[in-house]
């Protein structure tokens, strides 16, 4: 429905086929021009929908269906009085129609907004330049990404545009008011309106729409000319019918589209033919690995990018902002009991794919974290030619290509929200022979990358970043890397791992010294893959030129994910919870040490080692917590767990003090500030410092320790989950905005939270609703 008042007295649709007729039907359904409503969507009862079409039968049908108020086969008879004109004619007819408009509108041309629905924009822009001598400021080119194999006004569908995208391609001097009026029209039809440059539009649509239609036409034509064509079509399965359905589309329209967008279509066809040629060679040779690589990459690309587009703020294709807001509504109170296993460790999941891809042989992985961050790493390696089977119920099989077997991806590698993936990829890709671009979502593009780019440059890498050393990263291949000795200015496992991965490709020895201990998964896993890594005190090193040998990996549960439930049980009277198979790497157990110092009843049971990583079941019961001064040496061991630990502090008796944690300011959000703002919203007394915070806990044995409120998670999954568990001791409900990225870090969080006793409702809607 329309959300603003507009003054369109008359909308003229030139071309009353499927697209134009459906537009008229959708406008009618939204209330435009209806005589039975004084204010449906802000339109007045005097409005009209008028049509022009060379076929008088189409005009007659439009009138009979109630879609238009009047119409004619001649444009000059209906153009007078139109406030907005929609050109829904074939692309090759645009020039003549624009010429007529220029003649009939005359001096009034500047007062009328004109738009179109063509599938190719450069050709239509050229028509406008030829007819008008310039791009009129009131001409807004557009393209609804919707349609059907049916044609004609009889097939008009008032719901054709609901939930579909309409791409507008405004020029720099397009009148903003004209743009807004076209946006309003399409929004009234239920469409999602986006903007894109003309050239980019034509390139994208050539690949996503024009090429599939071209292939469908060609396939059906090829099969229909064969002698056994009747048998072929009689026994065609669903896949054939689904793919070839679009071959029933209007041939004239598609002839015009292919003619108008010739260069972009040919470029996309060249790419496709090259891909088919590669597949043909694999089939001829019986090369099962090559076929698997192609099929697997395609299958998972389809599912991966669809899930990103549907569930997150993925912006690689249209640079669009996520619409709406996934919100958690947390009811106060509850208990935390049971026995659960949280998803696999994200850090180890990332590294298992990376090292498995670079190893020689086949790596079998169990317990893989099937979250969006880890899936982004999987997809990136598929795009570099690595065959990967799965994931299926946490199992992944990686067919390694060796240290020098990666292939240049066809475009930028998109890693979503995964800062770990981007920083580790930077080191791994710095030593490749090809150029690569690393990009991510809006949150990731705000995070600093010079901390890895600068030392990589010292090794001889050539890396370009965006302003402020932020993504995207452009890595120029073919550079000879040399080992360096690097003293890290901050404690960061990502920086250390990045340099060690680059060191695999460097001449000589790469040594990294850290100011405080950080997680050592990379060193442990490199050793597990047979690559020698040495350590002496705070320094680790390796020499380039070795090789990795495939090895099985059993990914332990992620202690960062387990932390939310550890804290939930620690603060809630009556809680008794067991978290199974949790990784307790000595460089990751800061949260365990800190909770114990605060008085938590936390025990490690069934301790064992799996694939070089220590693992245990964590058994925690409620016990009164006390405020502490968090030891500095524990800070880097718990850097990702502090948002949840802040909630523990809010429920402890006395003051908890944290210092030396400035690293929290450069995570997915400024987590010190975000948590401080959230604590203020629910009434927890605190004092914020540049490198830490003091939190004054309520510490009551029963009842609530603070109030409720509304939290802005800043699209940071850890902020969202931390305040979700805070609701256990709140006096009123807590509402948490922008929670969609929780799936990035912790798939299944909502189900597990409900399973152990939290009352969590997911909602979607606009801000302030």
**Residues classed as catalytic:** 640
C-beta atoms surrounding 535 within 10 Å: 11
User: Residues within the annotated binding site for 3-phosphoshikimate?
Assistant: 346-347, 351, 492, 494, 640, 667
| Residue 399, beta-bridge partner list | 362, 387
Q: Alpha carbon of 103 to those of 98, 109, 281: distances in Å? A: 9, 9, 58
Q: If you write DSSP's letter for every residue of 17-75 in order, what string do you get?
A: SHHHHHHHHHHHHHTTT-TT-S-BTTB-TT-EEEEE-S-HHHHHHHHHTTS-SEEESSG
- Print burial letters for 478-502: b (CB count within 10 Å at least 16), e (below 16): ebebebbebebeebbbbbbbbbbbb
Residue tagged 């429905």 (tokens): 1
The closest alpha carbon to 601, from 638, 581, 573, 641, belongs to 573
Pairing type for strands 485-487 and 534-536 reads unpaired
Q: Cα separation of 402 and 473, whole Å?
A: 24
User: Residues within the annotated binding site?
Assistant: 346-347, 351, 419, 447, 492, 494, 640, 667, 671, 718
Q: If you write DSSP's letter for every residue of 343-404 in order, what string do you get?
A: PBPHHHHHHHHHHHHHSBSEEEEES---SHHHHHHHHHHHHTT-EEEEEETTEEEEE---TT
**Helix 94-105 and helix 122-132: axis angle, to 10°?**
40
User: Residues within the annotated binding site for phosphoenolpyruvate?
Assistant: 346, 419, 447, 494, 671, 718
- Print burial letters for 685-710: b (CB count within 10 Å at least 16), e (below 16): ebeeeeebbbbbbbbeeeebbbebbe
How long a stretch of residues is the chain? 769
Confirm if 481 and 430 have CB atoms less than 8 A apart: yes
Label each residue of 706-739 as H, E or C.
Answer: ECCEEEECCCCHHHHHHHHHHHHHECCCEEEECC
Confirm if 559 and 595 have CB atoms less than 8 A apart: no
CA angle 560, 563, 567 (to 5 degrees): 160
Alpha carbon dihedral 420, 421, 423, 427, in 10-degree steps, equals 130
Phi-psi region of 152 (alpha: psi -120 to 50; beta: other; left: phi over 0): left
């Amino acid at each position: 429905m329309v959300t603003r008042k507009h003054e369109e007295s008359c909308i003229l649709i030139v071309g009353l086929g499927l697209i134009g007729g459906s537009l008229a039907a959708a406008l009618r359904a939204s209330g435009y021009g209806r005589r039975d409503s004084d204010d449906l969507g802000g339109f007045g009862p005097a409005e009209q929908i008028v049509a022009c079409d060379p076929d008088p039968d189409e005009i007659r049908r439009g009138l009979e269906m109630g879609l238009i108020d009047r119409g004619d086969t001649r444009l000059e008879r209906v153009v007078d009085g139109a406030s907005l004109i929609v050109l829904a004619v074939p692309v090759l007819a645009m020039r003549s129609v624009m010429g007529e408009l220029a003649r009939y509108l005359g001096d009034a041309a500047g007062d009328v907004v004109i738009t179109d629905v063509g599938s190719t924009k450069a050709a239509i822009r050229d028509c406008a330049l030829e007819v008008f001598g310039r791009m009129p400021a009131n001409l807004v080119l557009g393209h609804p990404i919707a349609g059907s194999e049916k044609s004609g006004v009889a097939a008009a569908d008032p719901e054709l545009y609901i939930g579909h995208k309409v791409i507008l391609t405004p020029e720099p001097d397009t009148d903003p008011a004209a743009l807004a009026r076209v946006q309003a029209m399409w929004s009234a039809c239920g469409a999602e309106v986006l903007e894109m440059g003309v050239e980019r539009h034509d390139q994208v649509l050539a690949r996503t729409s024009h090429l599939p239609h071209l292939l469908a036409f060609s396939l059906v034509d090829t099969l229909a000319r064969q002698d056994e064509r009747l048998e072929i079509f009689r026994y065609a399965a669903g896949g054939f019918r689904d793919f070839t359905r679009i071959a029933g589309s209007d041939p004239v329209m598609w002839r015009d589209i292919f003619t108008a967008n010739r260069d972009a279509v040919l470029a996309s066809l060249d790419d496709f033919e090259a891909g088919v040629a590669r597949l043909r060679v694999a089939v001829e040779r019986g090369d099962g690995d090559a076929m698997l690589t192609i099929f697997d990459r395609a299958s998972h690309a389809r599912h991966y990018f669809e899930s990103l587009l549907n569930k997150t703020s993925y912006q690689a294709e249209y640079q669009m902002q996520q619409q709406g807001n996934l919100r958690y509504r947390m009811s106060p109170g509850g208990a935390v009991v049971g026995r659960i296993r949280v998803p696999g460790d994200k850090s180890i999941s990332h590294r298992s794919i990376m090292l498995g891809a670079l190893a020689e042989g086949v790596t079998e992985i169990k317990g893989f974290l099937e979250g969006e961050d880890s899936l982004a790493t999987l997809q990136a390696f598929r795009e570099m030619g690595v065959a990967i089977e799965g994931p299926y119920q946490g199992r992944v099989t990686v067919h390694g290509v060796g240290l020098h077997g990666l292939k240049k991806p066809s475009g930028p590698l998109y890693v979503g929200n995964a800062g770990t993936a981007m920083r580790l990829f930077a080191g791994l890709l710095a030593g490749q022979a090809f150029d690569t671009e690393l990009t991510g979502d809006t949150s990731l593009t705000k995070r600093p990358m010079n901390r890895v780019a600068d030392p990589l440059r010292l090794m001889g890498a050539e890396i370009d970043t965006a302003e402020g050393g932020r993504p995207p990263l452009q890595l120029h291949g073919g550079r000879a890397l040399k080992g360096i000795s690097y003293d890290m200015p901050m404690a960061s496992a990502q920086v250390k791992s990045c340099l060690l991965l680059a060191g695999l490709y460097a001449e000589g020895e790469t040594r990294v010294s850290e100011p405080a201990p950080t997680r050592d998964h990379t060193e442990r896993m490199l050793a597990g893959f047979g690559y020698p890594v040495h350590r002496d005190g705070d320094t680790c090193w390796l020499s380039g030129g070795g090789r990795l040998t495939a090895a099985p990996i059993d990914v332990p549960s992620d202690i960062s994910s387990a932390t939310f439930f550890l804290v939930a049980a620690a603060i809630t009277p009556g809680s008794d919870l067991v978290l199974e198979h949790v990784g307790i790497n000595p460089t990751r157990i800061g949260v365990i040490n800190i909770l114990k110092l605060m008085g938590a009843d936390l025990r490690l049971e069934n301790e064992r080692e799996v694939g070089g990583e220590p693992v245990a079941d964590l058994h925690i019961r409620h016990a009164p917590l006390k405020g502490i001064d968090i030891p500095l040496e524990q800070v880097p061991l718990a850097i990702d767990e502090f948002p949840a630990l802040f909630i523990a502090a809010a429920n402890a008796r006395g003051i908890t003090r944290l210092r030396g944690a400035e690293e929290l300011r450069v995570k997915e959000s400024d987590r010190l500030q975000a948590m401080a703002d959230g604590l203020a919203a629910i009434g927890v007394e605190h004092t914020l410092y540049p490198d830490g915070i003091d939190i004054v806990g309520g510490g009551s044995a029963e009842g609530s320790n603070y109030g409720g409120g509304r939290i802005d998670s800043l699209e940071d999954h850890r902020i969202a989950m931390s305040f979700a568990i805070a609701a256990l001791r709140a006096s009123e409900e807590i509402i948490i905005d922008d929670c969609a990225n929780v799936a990035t870090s912790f798939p299944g969080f909502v189900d597990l939270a409900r399973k152990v006793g939290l009352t969590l409702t997911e909602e979607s809607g606009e801000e302030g609703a």
